[in-house]
Amino acid sequence: MHGNQGQTTFFDEALNIRVGDMASMIYADLNRADDDSERQKIRASLLEYCKLDTLVMVMIWQELGKIAEMR
Quick check: 3 pLDDT over 60? no
pTM (predicted TM-score):
0.67
Greater pLDDT, 5 or 41: 41
Residue pair 10/28 in contact by the 8 Å Cβ criterion:
no
Angle between helices 36-70 and 20-28 (to 10 degrees): 150
pLDDT bin (cut points 50, 70, 90) of residue 10 is low
For residue 49, the model assigns a pLDDT of 87
Q: For the chain, what are the domain ranges?
A: 10-70
Residue pair 50/23 in contact by the 8 Å Cβ criterion:
yes
pLDDT tens, residue by residue, 12-68: 555 677 777 888 888 887 888 888 888 898 888 899 889 888 999 999 999 999 999
